[in-house]
Amino acid sequence: MKPLARRLQIEIKQKKYNLAMELNEKLCEFVGAIIGDGCIDGFTKPSGLSNYHISITGDSNLDKDYLTEYFPNLVKKMFNVKANPSFRKTQTGLILNIYSKMIFYLVTGRLGMPIGKKTLTIRIPEVIMNSEKQFLYSTIRGIADTDGCVYLDKRKAYKKPYARIHIVTCSKPLFEQLKEILGEEFSLYVRESMAKVNMRYDIVIYGNKQLEKWMKLIGFSNERHLKKVRKVLEPLEGFEPPTSGLQNPCYSHLATEA
Protein backbone atom coordinates (compact mmCIF):
# COMPACT_ATOMS: atom_id res chain seq x y z
CA MET A 1 0.00 0.00 0.00
CA LYS A 2 1.26 3.47 -0.92
CA PRO A 3 2.27 5.69 2.05
CA LEU A 4 -0.44 8.26 1.27
CA ALA A 5 -3.16 5.62 1.03
CA ARG A 6 -2.01 4.19 4.38
CA ARG A 7 -2.10 7.64 5.98
CA LEU A 8 -5.57 8.25 4.57
CA GLN A 9 -6.86 5.07 6.17
CA ILE A 10 -5.36 6.10 9.53
CA GLU A 11 -6.84 9.60 9.37
CA ILE A 12 -10.27 8.28 8.40
CA LYS A 13 -10.16 5.72 11.20
CA GLN A 14 -9.21 8.42 13.69
CA LYS A 15 -12.16 10.54 12.42
CA LYS A 16 -10.09 13.61 11.75
CA TYR A 17 -12.62 14.57 9.08
CA ASN A 18 -16.36 15.07 9.29
CA LEU A 19 -17.74 12.37 7.01
CA ALA A 20 -21.33 12.61 8.15
CA MET A 21 -22.74 14.21 4.99
CA GLU A 22 -26.22 12.84 4.42
CA LEU A 23 -27.01 11.00 1.22
CA ASN A 24 -28.91 12.96 -1.40
CA GLU A 25 -29.74 12.39 -5.04
CA LYS A 26 -27.00 14.63 -6.44
CA LEU A 27 -24.33 13.03 -4.26
CA CYS A 28 -25.44 9.60 -5.46
CA GLU A 29 -25.38 10.76 -9.08
CA PHE A 30 -21.85 12.04 -8.45
CA VAL A 31 -20.85 8.65 -7.05
CA GLY A 32 -22.44 6.89 -10.04
CA ALA A 33 -20.35 8.92 -12.47
CA ILE A 34 -17.19 7.90 -10.61
CA ILE A 35 -18.28 4.26 -10.72
CA GLY A 36 -19.00 4.51 -14.44
CA ASP A 37 -15.92 6.23 -15.80
CA GLY A 38 -14.05 7.82 -12.93
CA CYS A 39 -10.87 7.36 -10.97
CA ILE A 40 -9.87 8.20 -7.40
CA ASP A 41 -6.19 8.74 -6.80
CA GLY A 42 -4.08 9.96 -3.91
CA PHE A 43 -0.38 10.58 -4.40
CA THR A 44 2.53 12.55 -3.01
CA LYS A 45 4.64 14.79 -5.24
CA PRO A 46 8.47 14.81 -4.98
CA SER A 47 8.09 18.10 -3.13
CA GLY A 48 6.23 16.27 -0.39
CA LEU A 49 2.86 17.88 -1.16
CA SER A 50 -0.10 15.50 -1.35
CA ASN A 51 -2.68 15.46 -4.11
CA TYR A 52 -6.25 14.31 -3.60
CA HIS A 53 -7.54 13.70 -7.09
CA ILE A 54 -10.85 12.51 -8.58
CA SER A 55 -11.34 12.45 -12.34
CA ILE A 56 -14.15 11.64 -14.78
CA THR A 57 -13.31 10.88 -18.41
CA GLY A 58 -15.33 10.95 -21.60
CA ASP A 59 -15.38 11.71 -25.31
CA SER A 60 -14.28 15.26 -26.14
CA ASN A 61 -17.14 15.67 -28.62
CA LEU A 62 -20.00 13.53 -27.35
CA ASP A 63 -19.54 14.29 -23.64
CA LYS A 64 -18.45 17.91 -23.98
CA ASP A 65 -21.64 19.47 -22.56
CA TYR A 66 -21.77 16.96 -19.72
CA LEU A 67 -18.14 17.34 -18.61
CA THR A 68 -17.64 21.06 -19.25
CA GLU A 69 -21.02 22.36 -18.07
CA TYR A 70 -23.39 19.98 -16.30
CA PHE A 71 -20.96 18.09 -14.07
CA PRO A 72 -18.76 21.06 -13.06
CA ASN A 73 -21.95 22.91 -12.07
CA LEU A 74 -23.08 19.92 -10.02
CA VAL A 75 -19.73 19.81 -8.19
CA LYS A 76 -19.79 23.58 -7.59
CA LYS A 77 -23.32 23.52 -6.15
CA MET A 78 -22.71 20.49 -3.96
CA PHE A 79 -19.24 21.21 -2.61
CA ASN A 80 -18.35 24.76 -3.66
CA VAL A 81 -15.34 23.25 -5.42
CA LYS A 82 -14.22 24.02 -8.97
CA ALA A 83 -13.90 21.06 -11.33
CA ASN A 84 -11.44 21.59 -14.20
CA PRO A 85 -12.08 20.00 -17.61
CA SER A 86 -9.14 19.48 -19.95
CA PHE A 87 -8.87 18.09 -23.46
CA ARG A 88 -6.30 15.45 -24.24
CA LYS A 89 -4.03 16.62 -27.04
CA THR A 90 -3.35 13.28 -28.72
CA GLN A 91 -6.77 11.68 -28.25
CA THR A 92 -10.47 12.49 -28.66
CA GLY A 93 -10.62 12.42 -24.88
CA LEU A 94 -11.83 14.83 -22.23
CA ILE A 95 -11.02 14.56 -18.55
CA LEU A 96 -12.65 16.44 -15.68
CA ASN A 97 -10.28 16.89 -12.72
CA ILE A 98 -11.42 17.52 -9.16
CA TYR A 99 -8.77 18.34 -6.58
CA SER A 100 -10.35 18.37 -3.14
CA LYS A 101 -9.24 16.74 0.08
CA MET A 102 -12.77 17.07 1.49
CA ILE A 103 -14.43 15.30 -1.47
CA PHE A 104 -11.67 12.70 -1.52
CA TYR A 105 -12.28 11.80 2.11
CA LEU A 106 -16.04 11.84 1.62
CA VAL A 107 -16.07 9.26 -1.18
CA THR A 108 -13.30 7.07 0.26
CA GLY A 109 -14.08 7.36 3.96
CA ARG A 110 -17.82 8.00 4.19
CA LEU A 111 -18.74 5.86 1.17
CA GLY A 112 -15.85 3.39 1.11
CA MET A 113 -14.98 3.79 -2.57
CA PRO A 114 -11.62 2.33 -3.60
CA ILE A 115 -8.48 4.32 -4.36
CA GLY A 116 -6.73 3.36 -7.59
CA LYS A 117 -7.64 0.52 -9.94
CA LYS A 118 -11.31 -0.48 -9.76
CA THR A 119 -12.22 -1.97 -13.14
CA LEU A 120 -12.87 -5.52 -11.92
CA THR A 121 -14.11 -4.80 -8.42
CA ILE A 122 -16.06 -1.53 -8.39
CA ARG A 123 -19.52 -1.69 -6.87
CA ILE A 124 -22.23 0.62 -5.59
CA PRO A 125 -21.36 1.43 -1.95
CA GLU A 126 -23.35 -0.50 0.64
CA VAL A 127 -24.61 2.69 2.28
CA ILE A 128 -26.36 3.49 -1.03
CA MET A 129 -27.49 -0.09 -1.65
CA ASN A 130 -29.23 0.00 1.73
CA SER A 131 -30.81 3.39 1.12
CA GLU A 132 -33.98 4.64 -0.54
CA LYS A 133 -34.89 3.81 -4.13
CA GLN A 134 -34.38 7.34 -5.44
CA PHE A 135 -30.77 7.23 -4.26
CA LEU A 136 -30.19 3.95 -6.08
CA TYR A 137 -31.76 5.36 -9.23
CA SER A 138 -29.66 8.53 -9.02
CA THR A 139 -26.52 6.40 -8.74
CA ILE A 140 -27.53 4.39 -11.79
CA ARG A 141 -28.18 7.63 -13.68
CA GLY A 142 -24.57 8.65 -13.03
CA ILE A 143 -23.33 5.23 -14.17
CA ALA A 144 -25.41 5.33 -17.36
CA ASP A 145 -24.42 8.94 -18.13
CA THR A 146 -20.72 8.07 -18.12
CA ASP A 147 -20.57 4.40 -19.04
CA GLY A 148 -23.83 3.69 -20.83
CA CYS A 149 -25.21 4.02 -24.33
CA VAL A 150 -28.59 4.71 -25.91
CA TYR A 151 -28.81 2.93 -29.25
CA LEU A 152 -31.52 3.69 -31.83
CA ASP A 153 -32.39 0.95 -34.30
CA LYS A 154 -33.71 2.70 -37.40
CA ARG A 155 -34.47 -0.32 -39.57
CA LYS A 156 -37.58 -0.14 -41.74
CA ALA A 157 -39.21 -2.87 -39.64
CA TYR A 158 -39.86 -0.23 -36.97
CA LYS A 159 -42.33 2.64 -37.48
CA LYS A 160 -40.09 4.86 -35.35
CA PRO A 161 -36.56 4.39 -33.98
CA TYR A 162 -36.45 1.45 -31.56
CA ALA A 163 -34.43 2.28 -28.46
CA ARG A 164 -32.08 0.21 -26.38
CA ILE A 165 -30.21 1.21 -23.24
CA HIS A 166 -26.89 -0.60 -22.94
CA ILE A 167 -24.51 -0.74 -19.97
CA VAL A 168 -21.27 -2.75 -20.05
CA THR A 169 -18.96 -3.42 -17.13
CA CYS A 170 -15.98 -5.63 -16.32
CA SER A 171 -16.98 -5.71 -12.65
CA LYS A 172 -19.08 -8.71 -11.69
CA PRO A 173 -20.07 -7.19 -8.31
CA LEU A 174 -21.48 -4.13 -10.10
CA PHE A 175 -23.16 -6.33 -12.70
CA GLU A 176 -24.94 -8.31 -9.99
CA GLN A 177 -26.06 -5.11 -8.24
CA LEU A 178 -27.42 -3.59 -11.44
CA LYS A 179 -29.29 -6.79 -12.30
CA GLU A 180 -30.87 -6.80 -8.85
CA ILE A 181 -31.95 -3.15 -8.91
CA LEU A 182 -33.01 -2.84 -12.54
CA GLY A 183 -34.57 -6.30 -12.68
CA GLU A 184 -37.28 -5.15 -10.27
CA GLU A 185 -38.63 -2.66 -12.81
CA PHE A 186 -37.34 -3.65 -16.26
CA SER A 187 -37.08 -6.69 -18.50
CA LEU A 188 -33.35 -7.18 -18.99
CA TYR A 189 -31.17 -8.89 -21.53
CA VAL A 190 -27.93 -9.90 -19.77
CA ARG A 191 -24.84 -11.62 -21.05
CA GLU A 192 -21.46 -12.66 -19.69
CA SER A 193 -18.64 -13.08 -22.19
CA MET A 194 -14.86 -13.08 -22.40
CA ALA A 195 -13.35 -9.90 -23.84
CA LYS A 196 -9.59 -10.08 -24.38
CA VAL A 197 -8.25 -10.62 -20.84
CA ASN A 198 -11.29 -9.84 -18.68
CA MET A 199 -14.87 -10.97 -18.44
CA ARG A 200 -17.41 -8.54 -19.82
CA TYR A 201 -20.94 -8.15 -18.50
CA ASP A 202 -23.71 -6.65 -20.66
CA ILE A 203 -27.07 -5.33 -19.51
CA VAL A 204 -29.52 -4.22 -22.21
CA ILE A 205 -32.98 -2.75 -21.78
CA TYR A 206 -35.02 -3.04 -24.98
CA GLY A 207 -37.89 -0.99 -26.30
CA ASN A 208 -39.45 2.44 -26.31
CA LYS A 209 -41.92 1.63 -23.53
CA GLN A 210 -39.06 0.64 -21.26
CA LEU A 211 -37.13 3.75 -22.29
CA GLU A 212 -40.14 5.85 -21.28
CA LYS A 213 -40.21 4.08 -17.92
CA TRP A 214 -36.47 4.63 -17.51
CA MET A 215 -36.93 8.35 -18.05
CA LYS A 216 -39.64 8.49 -15.40
CA LEU A 217 -37.68 6.51 -12.80
CA ILE A 218 -34.01 7.20 -13.57
CA GLY A 219 -33.45 9.57 -16.48
CA PHE A 220 -30.25 10.93 -17.97
CA SER A 221 -28.24 14.08 -17.33
CA ASN A 222 -25.86 13.63 -20.26
CA GLU A 223 -27.02 15.49 -23.38
CA ARG A 224 -25.48 12.83 -25.63
CA HIS A 225 -28.17 10.42 -24.39
CA LEU A 226 -30.99 12.97 -24.16
CA LYS A 227 -30.60 13.86 -27.84
CA LYS A 228 -31.42 10.27 -28.76
CA VAL A 229 -34.20 9.98 -26.19
CA ARG A 230 -35.98 12.99 -27.71
CA LYS A 231 -36.00 11.33 -31.12
CA VAL A 232 -38.05 8.51 -29.63
CA LEU A 233 -40.19 10.11 -26.94
CA GLU A 234 -40.96 13.54 -28.39
CA PRO A 235 -43.51 14.68 -29.08
CA LEU A 236 -44.97 12.85 -26.11
CA GLU A 237 -47.59 14.55 -23.98
CA GLY A 238 -46.20 15.44 -20.57
CA PHE A 239 -42.72 14.12 -21.39
CA GLU A 240 -39.83 15.98 -19.84
CA PRO A 241 -36.55 14.33 -18.84
CA PRO A 242 -36.08 14.60 -15.07
CA THR A 243 -32.58 15.99 -15.45
CA SER A 244 -31.27 18.55 -17.72
CA GLY A 245 -15.40 8.90 -22.01
CA LEU A 246 -17.24 6.61 -23.32
CA GLN A 247 -15.13 3.52 -23.04
CA ASN A 248 -17.91 1.04 -23.77
CA PRO A 249 -19.42 1.80 -27.20
CA CYS A 250 -22.75 0.58 -28.56
CA TYR A 251 -22.04 -2.68 -30.28
CA SER A 252 -23.42 -3.31 -33.73
CA HIS A 253 -24.55 -6.87 -32.85
CA LEU A 254 -27.42 -5.38 -30.86
CA ALA A 255 -29.13 -4.31 -34.09
CA THR A 256 -29.79 -7.94 -35.02
CA GLU A 257 -30.85 -9.27 -31.64
CA ALA A 258 -34.52 -9.78 -30.88
What CATH number does residue 65 fall under? Answer: 3.10.28.10
Number of domains, the chain? 2
Q: Specify which residues 54 forms β-bridges with.
A: 40, 98
Residue 125 lies in a domain: no
pLDDT computed for residue 257 by the predictor: 34
Residue 198 located in a structural domain: yes
pLDDT of res. 132: 95
Structural domain includes residue 54: yes
Tens digits of residue pLDDT in 43-64: 666 666 667 899 999 999 999 9
What is the arithmetic mean of pLDDT over 81-93?
Answer: 83
89 and 162 within one domain: no
* 69 inside domain: yes
Report if residue 75 sits inside a domain: yes
Are 25 and 112 within one domain? yes
Domain assignment of residue 151, yes or no:
yes
Overall pTM surpassing 0.75 (yes/no): yes
Split at pLDDT 50, 70, 90, the class of 256 is very low
Q: Residue 72 to residues 29, 89, 177, 249: CA-CA distances in angstroms?
A: 13, 21, 28, 24
Q: In this structure, are 177 and 87 located in the same domain?
A: no
Domain interval for residue 180: 143-256
